[in-house]
Structure 1
Amino acid sequence: MSTQHLKTISKLFESLRYRHDLYTVFSDWCACAAIAISNAIDVRQREAREARYLDIVRRYQKDELAIFPQILGEVTMALETAPQDILGATFHELELHNKARGQFFTPYELCLMMAKINIGGFDDLQKVINAHGYVTAHEPAVGAGATIIALAEAIKDLGINYQRKLHVVAVDVDPRAVHMAYIQFSLLHIPAQVIVGDTLRMEFREDWFTPAHILGFWSGRLAAKQVAQPDAKPEVPDAAVTPPAKKVKIRSTAGLPLFDFSD
């Protein structure tokens, strides 16, 4: 964990708490950062998300808004230092988990151990890649994304480029958690579809596609596999982008093992 970046990020957030509730500031920053990344690449959802962005920033003064990109810069540098769940760590450092009804994020070191146990050795992973071209991971309660980040690091440590050989579908009921995961996956260039939804109720309402997903043409690649193997488990839910206010029921990839390297 990059402790210096963590301290700087926390200090920047703390500087805003004298005029605003810190929990709200953290949530607003996550939303704005996620929208800024999405709007640079996801043209289909740009208009609606830009309206949400403007609605949030109206609540802050100009000098306060100047701190938002500073935080994003520190998050970026922290992730360049090493793969880690810097936003989950910040959430705990600011003691926001106490206000979020006891919401805790799994420690990154534990996630990394789980990832290494699940993926096995190089030969096991390469066998799946040779057969299908890539591996997929499904996370039904992604939180800030620590488990997936750890998986990406474990794959990288085996000498395999996760940016080309891994695709992720992740779900969380908490929009703030989805924003956190989306930001970190985007900065680490992890191909992913992050969904706001309830895995247990099979209700999903909003998709966030990382730049790596869009630039890597993953929607087409996954759809082509489904056509070629109609009996295979779907890699991406059926729902196209749906309005946030409208709930739809779709075929879910959630409920599968956390790391699914099967056919």
Structure 2
Amino acid sequence: MHGASTITQSPPCHSAAVQQFVVSRIHSNIKLTAMTDIRQLLKEFERFAYGESLHTAFTDLLDWILLPFKRYEDKLEQQAALDTYRGHKKVNELARLVTLIGELSEGFRDPLGELYMQAISNGHNGQYFTPEPICDMMAAISVGNPTDGQTVADCACGSGRMLLSAAKINRHLKLYGADLDLTCCKMALINLLLNSLQGEVAHMNSLSNDFYRGYKVQTTLVDGYHMPYYVEFTEPEQSQLWLKPVKEQAKPNFDSPFEPVRAPQPINGVQGSLF
């Protein structure tokens, strides 16, 4: 996680224990090397995905990354998540891959989007994400010099690159992204979490306003660190991105159709001259 964010109230039972376990696995059992090339990420991912399709492995990877960040209502759920992570058959490969993704995310970069384009989509359904320099330029033009807490929204966010570019200008913005592709929504959600940003990601159709699910992203102070977490919801009324129906105003009732009022006498006017 990078930097600091606005302090919010601590959730009933945060997933800090799960995150601490992941960190301990990373630092205790894995020899980290200077892996900064996206090609190395692809190699690590292929090693993690061995024995199953790349698409299935990528979808599973997103869910495993999100597991420690979820807000749990009680300690039993939290412990169950911790046991699930411990019991992963490739926990070492998973921890190594998550570590590398975290390293490559420094500076609000998008390694998940790059991995997705190279290993999964191959341009499927036109899913080539906007290059980072273009996102930076568009954010500079549209966002300008925002104040803390100002909202930035992307109605077709993909992996969240435009939101990350906005965060480069001011990381204390409220970032909102929506996308029709659930995989893209999860990538955008992870990018917000890895950078301790705040806002919301919605799985919805921005054109038809059909809402499927949403994820609120916040941070809480744990042992002096701003730990990010997310809350999943399905009620569209809880979303800041879903367009709420406009209340219809009552129409006045008339006893009879409107008829123009005639003047009692003809009006005779004289047009004046301008000059």
2:159 paired residue number:
144
1:234 alignment partner in structure 2: none
Structure 1: segments with no counterpart, 5+ residues: 156-161, 217-239, 257-263
Match of 2:9 in 1: none
Q: CA, structure 1 residues 187+90, in 2 after alignment: closer, same or farther (shift >3 Å)?
A: same
Instruction: Let me know the Cα RMSD of the aligned residues.
Output: 3.3
Match for residue 224 of structure 1? none
**Going by fraction, where is helix more abundant, 1 or 2?**
1
The equivalences for 1:117-156 within 5 A come to 117-120=141-144, 122=145, 125=146, 129=147, 134-155=149-170
Q: Give the conservation status (yes or no) of the 8 Å contact 1:142–1:171.
A: yes
- Separation of aligned partners in 1, 2:185 and 2:115: 15
Q: What is the CA deviation profile of residues 114-146 of structure 1, one whole-angstrom value per residue up to 9, with x for unaligned ones?
A: 0011122x4xx3xxx3xxx62111121211110
Give the deviation of 1:193 after TM superposition. Answer: 1.4
Alignment partner of 1:172 is 2:172: no
Would the aligned equivalents of 1:6 and 1:89 in 2 still touch at CA under 8 Å? yes
Q: Which residue of 1 aligns with 2:246?
A: none
Q: How does 1:1-263 map to 2 (within 5 A)?
A: 4-38=36-70, 42-44=71-73, 47=77, 62=89, 64-80=90-106, 82-94=107-119, 96-98=120-122, 100-120=124-144, 122=145, 125=146, 129=147, 134-155=149-170, 162=171, 165-210=172-217, 213-215=218-220, 242-243=233-234, 249-250=236-237, 253-254=240-241
- When residues 214 and 154 of structure 1 are mapped into structure 2, their CA distance, relative to the original with a 3 A threshold, is closer
Against the structure 1 CA distance between its residues 18 and 43, is the aligned structure 2 distance closer, same or farther, given a 3 Å change threshold? closer
Whole-Å separation in 1 of the counterparts to 2:74 and 2:178 = 18
CA distance in 2, matches of 1:36, 1:92: 25
Following TM superposition, by how much is the alpha carbon of 1:99 offset from its aligned partner in structure 2, in angstroms?
Answer: 7.4
Structure 1 contact 139–170 (Cα < 8 Å) conserved: yes
Check conservation: 2:202, 2:241, Cα contact below 8 A. Answer: no
* Separation of aligned partners in 1, 2:215 and 2:239: 16
Q: Is the 8 A contact 2:136 2:166 kept in 1?
A: yes
Aligned length: 198
The one-letter code of the counterpart of 1:92 is M
Give the TM-score normalised by structure 2.
0.61
The higher radius of gyration belongs to 2
TM-score (norm 1): 0.64
Residue identity in the other structure for 1:87: L
Q: Which amino acid aligns with 2:181?
A: D
